[in-house]
Chains A and B, each alone.
Chain A
Amino acid sequence: MSGTPRSQAESPAPKGPAGLRAQIDNVGESLRQRYRALPRFARWGITMALFILAALLPHFMPYLSSRSNYWVAIILKIGLAALLALGLNIVVGFAGLLDLGYVAFFAIGAYTYAIMTGAVRFTLAQRESLPNFAELIPTFHMYFWLILFVAMGVALLAGVILGTPTLRLRGDYLAIVTLGFGEIVRIVARNLRDITGGPLGVKSIPHPAINVGSVHYDFGLNNNPYYWLVLVLISIVIFFVHRVNNSRVGRAWAAIREDEIAAAAMGVPTVRMKLLAFATGASIASIAGAIYASQVVYIDPQIATLLNPTFGSIIVLSMVVLGGMGGIWGPILGAAAIIFLPEYFRTLGDARFLVFGAALVVIMIFRPQGLIPSRRRAAELTGHDIHEGTVFETQHGVTSA
């Protein structure tokens, strides 16, 4: 191979499966180094080309498969999952907090949208056969864009209310409190019949639309516009994550994750920083929830369960862990793999949770850094006890990651 990257030249790769793994990592590392060595305009060019390619994906589908509609739907699902995974990655990967109630914020977003568009009012009126229920049919409108921000705000608020008492304490408490919170959101959605539509769910949730001057565009039942919307949001999140990673906040998160006491001693406002990560993750999930509700038209309290087969907290966590915590491409790859695999291998069907559960354990034991490791995270997770402070001494280049 010409142009051997430095890391490969330094240490001869060991044989066997460990050697193969090291080689795969080296390919990733060499790609990363080559990309960084490129001039700025070339990097921008590559990024834009990737974005355009991704945006045109629905148009390529008819050439790739005879069931293009089906595959576009899958890609949209992957996009939503990737958005969720990137959001959870901020909480789990960056701040090192285990959030097991992530889907609750997704449900909060979906319900905020359903309530604010009047879909709940319509559903209840129709269920009770009120004389004027037909007048209440919610129509698509520009408010979608406004409600997106409201949904974000509601989830932010819920995140702060939930996080403030819990994040002052050890990380384990957050895990169980969020686990309980997911259950609570489901119970509230089921029991507060007059506000949420109760156990039977909400229907006729309106699609978004753009209505500016002479431009009228209805998202409707077509999957493509939702996909593009999700793609734009993913791009924004990636940009945001990329910038934050190299900022004061990103460094504060890394410090908290590696040693919270030391971070506090160094003057990092740990509770505020953890709260920021938790609430940011929550608002991203909420946006994904609102988009999901507007696309599928019908939601019920079951979407908030831990084991929601597409977007449940555990599934999203598996995506982040499988792909690699703390990176950007890791969670996206994880989302693609975990949505795609059960679609492709139908036999996985009911057994997916069994497989994912086992996978979580196996990954934690053998490859805690995931498929596409973030360099810094990999150093922390692979057998260097953080509390003994060996990370910085044994892994050269970690501090500059």
Chain B
Amino acid sequence: MCKSAILEIIRENKPELIPLPDLSVFHHNISETDLIADFIRISTESMSNVVNIINSEIQLDTYLKEFIAKNYPTATIFYDTLNPKENLDRIDFQSKTVDLFIAESKLGVSENGCLWLDERILKQRISAFACQHTLLIIDHKNIVPTMHQAYQKLKIEETGYGVFISGPSKTADIEQSLVIGAQGAISNTIILI
């Protein structure tokens, strides 16, 4: 009932149709070296991430095992989306403190450090938020210059939920003082291949 009333007023009041602008003006010619350098700089300086660069020839799972043991020595409960044998649905975030979330993003953005994760990877949507720390992996080949290219590559409705994560959760709501670790993860580390 009220839907038709709202639409009726809009029809009466809207101006004449104005065409959409051309988005092809936003093309970014940037060398791969600069693209990756920007990603690392912005991700660490602006978004409070720790970025580790590894060679693509390194065996990822062996590297990760060592890396986690060294950097998260007290972590006991993991939400490891890279382990195909893990039954992730079983992990209960309410009753347990999950120490570390591990995932590989297939799309990164150089201009702001954003990494895309969707429901196919996340399984439980809350996993990247309710854990204490996140460890995200991105291959440098999957990094695009800006959000324009990112949305060209994505089909946002492909899964029920998808998110760009650019760092650990943060707030500056108390006197504009930046505090890392608000409601979501307390730290975010990126492994850049």
Do A and B assemble together? no
Residues of A within 8 A of B (CB): none
Residues of B within 8 A of A (CB): none
